[in-house]
Amino acid sequence: MSALLLSWRFWALLSAVFAALTAILAKLGVAGVPSEVATFLRTLVVAALTAAIVVATGQAAALGQVSGRSALFLVLSGLATGASWLCYFRALSLGDAARVAPLDKLSVVLVALFGALLLGESLAPVSWLGVGLIALGAVLVASGG
C-alpha cells in the first residue's frame, strides 16, 4: 500500500475521480445559484479543508519558508485557478456537465503544449498522438448532438 501512496499515477487517477465528481456535484449545486456565488462557496470549502490538513499534519511552519519566487508563482497559479473555476462554473450553469467537462479537459492538451514550449519538457511521438486524440475526443464529445 505504501508504494501505491508514493505513485504519481495513483494520485493523478484519484484526482480524475474527484474532478469527475466535482463536475457532477457542481452541476447539481449551481442550479438556481449565480455561478460566482457557487464558485465562492466552493473556494471557501477548499480553503478550509486545505488549512485543516496543513494544521493537522504540522506543516503550518512551512508557510514561512516559502521563497518569494515560489510565492509569486503560487499566487499566479491561484489566480489562474480562480479564473478557471469561475469560467467552469459559468459554463456548467449554461451547459451540460457531459459537454462542459471534456472541453475543460482540453487543459491536458494545453499543458502538454505549454510544458514543451515554456518548460522544455518533451513527449514521445506516441504521447503527442495521445494528446491529439484527447483534443479530438474533447471536441467530438462537446459538439455531439
- Alpha carbon distance 40, 100 (integer Å): 19
> What is the pLDDT at residue 145?
63
Residue 1, pLDDT > 90, answer no
Check if the beta carbon of residue 18 is closer than 8 Å to that of residue 92.
Answer: no
> What is the pLDDT at residue 41?
96
pLDDT bucket at 85, cuts 50 / 70 / 90: very high
> What is the pLDDT at residue 5?
87
Cα dist from 116 to 87, 106, 107, 119, 126, whole Å: 25, 16, 14, 6, 15
Q: What is the mean pLDDT of residues 30-55?
A: 96
**Domain assignments of the chain as residue spans, ordered by start:** 2-95, 105-145
To the nearest whole number, what is the mean pLDDT of the chain? Answer: 94
